[in-house]
């Protein structure tokens, strides 16, 4: 069974630029999550999708972050404009349903200069 795929693996941008990350969850997983992991901290949930609908985006900085999962499969997370404090690893995870075991992708490491 293929795992959660994410791209790119690494990205370096300057502040005020925009960036987008892509995630392909495990086939058949209805629930998709985006997490932000700042160095030295645990992952923090940014947004949770159930199929193509948003379940929880309470911790998503909506003035600069956006995410979509239009067809209920792949998802993109965008930051526009980026700030220095956005430097982190962005993890995508998926599960069969809310509350089921989450499977994580390898993450995208973002550095904002």
Partner 1 sequence: DQQVKQNSPSLSVQEGRISILNCDYTNSMFDYFLWYKKYPAEGPTFLISISSIKDKNEDGRFTVFLNKSAKHLSLHIVPSQPGDSAVYFCAASANNNDMRFGAGTRLTVKP
Binding site for partner 1 (CB under 8 A): 4, 33, 40-45, 48, 55-56, 58, 91, 93, 97-99, 101-107
Instruction: Give the DSSP H or E segment for 44.
Output: strand 44-50
* Alpha-carbon span 3 to 25, nearest angstrom: 7
What is the nearest approach in angstroms of partner 1 to the Cβ of residue 46? 11
- Residues facing 53 on adjacent strands: 50
Q: Which residue has the tokens 């949930």?
A: 45
Cα distances (angstroms) measured from residue 102 to each of 32, 46, 64, 67, 99 = 9, 15, 26, 19, 8
Q: What are phi and psi of 84, to 5 degrees?
A: -55, -40
Please identify, using beta-carbon distances, which residue of 1 and 71 lies nearer to partner 1. Answer: 1
Contact 19, 81 (CB under 8 A): no
Please identify, using beta-carbon distances, which residue of 16 and 62 lies nearer to partner 1. Answer: 62
What is the nearest approach in angstroms of partner 1 to the Cβ of residue 113? 21
What is the nearest approach in angstroms of partner 1 to the Cβ of residue 43? 5
Please identify, using beta-carbon distances, which residue of 17 and 57 lies nearer to partner 1. Answer: 57
What is the nearest approach in angstroms of partner 1 to the Cβ of residue 41? 5
């Amino acid at each position: 069974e293929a795992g959660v795929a994410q791209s790119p693996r690494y990205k370096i941008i300057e502040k005020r630029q925009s960036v987008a990350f892509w995630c392909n969850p495990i086939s058949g997983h209805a629930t998709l999550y985006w997490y932000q992991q700042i160095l030295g901290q645990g992952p923090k949930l940014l947004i949770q999708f159930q199929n193509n609908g948003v379940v929880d985006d309470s911790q998503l900085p909506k003035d600069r972050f956006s995410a979509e999962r239009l067809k209920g499969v792949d998802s993109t997370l965008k930051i526009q404009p980026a700030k220095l404090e956005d430097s982190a690893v962005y993890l995508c995870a998926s599960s069969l349903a809310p509350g089921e075991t989450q499977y994580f992708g390898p993450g995208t490491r973002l550095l904002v200069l």
